[in-house]
Amino acid sequence: MDAWPYWQLVLRTPRLELRPDDDSGLLELAEETLRGIHPPERMPFGVDWTDAPRDRLAVNTLQHYWSVRATQSPERWTLNFLVRLDGRVIGVQTLSADSFAVTGEVGTGSWIGLRHQGRGLGTEMRAAVLVFAFDHLGARTARSSAFVDNPASLGVSRKLGYRPDGTFTQLRRGEAATQTRLLLTRDGFVRPDWQLGVSGVTACLGMLTGREPAE
């Protein structure tokens, strides 16, 4: 019996491989955080986690992903896919849901190291989890959000077919900042011009959708 079937799940795009986090991959991810994710004068995240002292940043990264992995359930789950380019971890693409069996809705979030940005990889990795969610899990909608001064993230959402769905105010580095809510429907999804390779999904369906695979 495979007690943790997520370890068998793999998504493959033309350039990337996405797998749910494992400890060896998290060590690589922690190294990437230390190389830099964004210019220090900007904060693209709703939680200012990259402002942690350098001697705590890697430890905090490991502890965060361990804690998320430990609380998975069919009612509330978060898959933190480690994104690999040429076999090395360059960032993380998150897919999450609350009460998915009822809502049919997922959320996404992501980051990649600063040295890998500007090459379309962020679009490719988000498209991968959206194809997975819509085609393999049966999702009906997907949500995301980004600060209004984060054009890169908003640009990815626009390319993939998300539409603005209101705004909200969030504290960022002690000041109020505006985030744009984004909504994507299955019919509105602008699909990539490549096919997603998926393996290991069957064993995960019960944990993600609340339904067991057909015999």
Q: What is the largest CA-CA distance in the chain?
A: 54
Domains of the chain, CATH where assigned: 5-209 (3.40.630.30)
Quick one: pLDDT band at residue 212, thresholds 50, 70, 90? low
CA 204, CA 212: separation in Å to the nearest integer?
Answer: 9
List C-alpha distances in Å: 142 to 71, 100, 184, 215.
22, 11, 5, 29
Is the distance from CB of 6 to CB of 20 less than 8 angstroms? yes
Other CB atoms within a 10 A radius of the CB of residue 73 amount to 8
pLDDT, tens digit, for every residue of 49-66?
999 999 999 999 999 999
pLDDT, tens digit, for every residue of 107-147?
999 999 999 999 999 999 999 999 999 999 999 999 999 99
Residues forming a β-bridge with 63: none
Is the distance from CB of 147 to CB of 44 less than 8 angstroms? yes
